[in-house]
Copies of this chain bind each other. A is one copy, B any other.
Amino acid sequence: MSERVTLKQVAAKAGISYQTVSKVLNGSNQVARETAERILSAARELGYRPNTMARNLRSQRSWMIGYSWIPTPPNQVNHILDLFLTSMVQEAEAAGYHLLPFPYQEGEEQVETYREMIDSGRVDGFVLSSVEYDDPRIQFLLSRQFPFVAFGRSNPEIDFPYVDIDGGAGMRMTVDYLIKKGHRRIAVLAWPENSRVGNDRMGGFFEALNNAALSIPTEWVMRGEGTYEFGLKSGLHLLSTSPDQRPTAIVTLNDTQAIGAMVAAHELNLTVGSDVDVIGFDDAPMSQYLYPPLSSIRQPIREAGRLCVEQLIKLMEGESLIERQILLNPKLIIRASA
């Protein structure tokens, strides 16, 4: 395993006290040039690397950023994680910080996990994701005045630092596009009403309709899980009425639902892209390879990850944030499905 090289080893080799070695390696100019050079070359020859644990103990900083995410349920996909994690890690490491992933806990124990990580000095800050309404983590971290940045918004009345993607804007772009294309009868596959992300997106949906002075039957707003099965079932339901009764376009809150709707159209012998337009949300990597390729909303995930860490680092270093809340715009990717 090869012996550790410590300051003392370098000091012995250079014939000087180890504290002076420390000074030189940290760039103090209080040391004679000649000895500094002797020390530096000794350090180089021995391959000295400062011990992280000792450093951290001394500086009382762990240089760690805690992050946990909801494990993906079977048969579902997390398109986001790869990009989000990679960009966070890159941004963090570039600034000398490290990401500490830890398992997601449900319920009561969740806050306890965060408390534990703080009190044992394991992390200097957190990035939160899967933020919902009344998220107990936010209250807790605010009350402890512990640095964190949320990826996602929560209750509007609570003031905390976040980075989020403007899902409402995405939905508006989608609906605006469809209206411009001539659609007047647009249905939507939505999520349950307690979903913050879902409501954000639905806000944009209705806004776009209102702006165009359009209204749709309430039963065209179908709420359910973000699954293929729900998309398929809802698609069949919506599209199996007569051509002048059914919607001419279906928008969904994620691509998985959209795929279900496309298959529904297929099974009813309708052609997606002409008989009915479908637009998804998320731009899952495989959506481009569907038949027909799925139009969808692409979120700037890399940028979001980068910004979360950038903001958090400022907080951890005691700087104040110029923008405490950041909202990023997604992008509508048009393919053959709409």
Interface residues of A (CB under 8 A from B): 1-2, 4-5, 47, 49-54, 56-57, 62, 71-72, 75-79, 81-83, 85-86, 89-90, 93, 98-103, 116, 119-122, 144-146, 228, 256, 259-260, 262-263, 266, 284-286, 288-291
Contact = CB atoms under 8 A, between A and B. Distances in A.
Nearest to A50: B120
A51 B57 CA distance: 9
B286 A77 contact: yes
Contacts of A81: 81-82, 85
Chain multiplicity (copies): 2
B86 A285 contact: no
B266 A75 contact: no
Contact of A90 (B2, B49, B103): B103
A51 B122 CA distance: 8
A285 B81 CA distance: 14
B53 A4 contact: no
B51 A289 contact: no
Contacts of A1: 144-146
A1 B262 CA distance: 52
B89 A82 contact: no
Contact of A71 (B86, B101, B291): B86
Given A47-B119, A57-B53, A62-B53, A263 B285 contact: no
Contacts of A5: 119
Nearest to A86: B71
A144 B1 CA distance: 6
Contacts of A52: 62, 120-122
Contact of A256 (B47, B85, B99, B289): B289
